[in-house]
């Protein structure tokens, strides 16, 4: 008779510790062996001399491939210049991390695979690591990650060697983000040089008064401005207005204080188009609650390569005054173009 309660206790314990047994699929994780190759690509295979795309000059790019089945789906990138090399950190929408250094020869070195060391939930399912945005303090290596399903922001410390996303420090679910859609939350996030943070939702739309006197949803997207670290500061709401038919998928700060926003539109089956807009730094009036930003469109982009997709995955980071890194994602490959912006 004693064996029955013991057996039931063991089964109950396993059920609690391994939620995948209840039907939730295990999140695919990268293996310990960092298997990755890089191949240089041109923006237009039919015209190898082509370097211009709208107001951008193509500086080069690579397609990264791996035999690891969990490789791909990278939605965020952090780029740091360290000594003579560029430190690149890719974060997937499933919490997988790829780290490497890259010089002017576009050859990755010091490749490493890892997984986020912590975050919302138990980390078993993909929705517990739905990491869509990433921003860093370049001086300290502290990183912040936006999680869509949870509408949360997590903070991570760097390792002693400067490795990003080495240790989980904490997380917050801002009250103003709790009503954002599960699959359209903090898609874009940037830490400004003055320590403030800007977060944009991909699909959350503000409530507006209709011509009939009712309440509907506007065409803008909801955003938050934090006076400091989102884990301790309160967010102030505003509305970002993307080009018609587009949604914001990443944001970065230009050297002059303006914000450059990448917007994406999708048409079935696999057609992406992109528009880059700029928020002028002067007259933003961030202190006003419910601010409506009316932006001038800078570029509409269509890549000649279906695999490159300009920024099909929706990520960009600035390397220097006029250099923008983009990252596209497709299947088990990832492409990393770099552009010089003439704006």
Domains, in order of start, for the chain: 33-341 (2.115.10)
What tens digit of pLDDT does each residue of 13-32 get? 434 444 444 457 888 999 99
Long-range contact set of residues 222-226: C-beta below 8 Å, sequence gap at least 24: 222/180, 223/198, 223/199, 224/174, 224/176, 224/177, 224/197, 224/198, 224/199, 225/196, 225/197, 225/198, 225/199, 225/286, 226/196, 226/197, 226/198, 226/199
In residues, how long is the chain?
343
> What does the mean pLDDT of the chain come to?
78
More confident: 56 or 152: 152
Is residue 263 within 8 Å of 275, Cβ to Cβ?
A: yes
The better pLDDT of the pair 314, 120 is held by: 120
Q: At 195, give phi and psi (nearest 5°).
A: 95, -5
| CB 228, CB 196: distance < 8 Å | yes
Instruction: Decide: pTM greater than 0.85.
Output: no
Q: Nearest 5°: phi and psi at 10?
A: -65, -45
Query: Is the pLDDT at 52 greater than 90, yes or no?
Result: no
- Give the SS3 label for residue 109: strand
Q: Which residue has the higher pLDDT, 155 or 138?
A: 155
Provide the pairing of β-strand 207-209 with 167-172: unpaired
Residue 77: strand pairing partners? 90
Could you read off the pLDDT of 244-266 as tens digits, one per residue? 888 998 888 887 888 888 888 87
Number of H helices, E strands in the chain: 1, 25
pLDDT of residue 229: 98
Locus of tokens 């709208």: 54
Query: Distance between CA 326 and CA 40 in Å, rounded?
Result: 15
275-306 pLDDT, tens digit each: 888 787 654 444 443 344 444 445 565 544 44
């Amino acid at each position: 008779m004693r064996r029955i309660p013991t057996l039931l206790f063991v089964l109950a314990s396993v059920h609690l510790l391994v939620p995948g047994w209840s039907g939730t699929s295990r999140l695919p994780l990268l293996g310990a062996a960092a298997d990755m190759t890089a191949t240089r690509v041109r923006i237009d295979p039919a015209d190898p001399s082509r370097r211009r795309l709208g107001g951008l000059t193509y500086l080069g790019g690579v397609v990264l491939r791996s035999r690891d089945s969990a490789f791909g789906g990278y939605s965020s990138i952090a780029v740091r210049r360290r000594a003579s090399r560029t430190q690149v950190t890719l974060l997937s929408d499933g919490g997988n991390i790829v780290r490497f250094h890259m010089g002017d020869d576009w050859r990755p070195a010091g490749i490493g695979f890892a997984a986020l060391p912590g975050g919302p939930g138990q980390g078993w399912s993909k929705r517990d690591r739905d990491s869509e945005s990433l921003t860093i303090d370049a001086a300290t290596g502290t990183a912040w990650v936006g999680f869509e399903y949870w509408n949360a922001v997590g903070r991570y410390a760097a390792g002693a060697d400067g490795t990003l996303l080495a240790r989980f420090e904490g997380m917050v679910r801002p009250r103003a983000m709790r009503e954002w859609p599960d699959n359209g939350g903090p898609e874009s996030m940037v830490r400004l040089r003055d320590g403030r943070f800007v977060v944009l939702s991909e699909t959350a739309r503000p409530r507006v008064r209709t011509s009939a006197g009712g309440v509907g949803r506007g065409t803008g997207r909801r955003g938050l401005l934090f006076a400091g670290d989102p884990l301790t500061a309160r967010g102030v709401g505003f509305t970002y207005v993307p080009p018609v038919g587009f949604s914001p998928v990443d944001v970065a700060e230009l050297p002059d204080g303006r914000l450059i926003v990448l917007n994406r539109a999708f048409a079935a089956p696999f057609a992406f188009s992109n528009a880059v807009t700029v928020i002028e730094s002067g007259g933003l009036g961030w202190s006003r609650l419910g601010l409506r930003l009316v932006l001038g469109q800078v570029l509409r982009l269509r890549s000649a390569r279906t695999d490159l997709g300009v920024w099909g995955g929706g990520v960009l980071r600035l390397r220097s005054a006029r250099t923008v890194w983009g990252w596209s994602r497709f299947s088990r490959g990832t492409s990393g173009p770099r552009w010089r912006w003439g704006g």
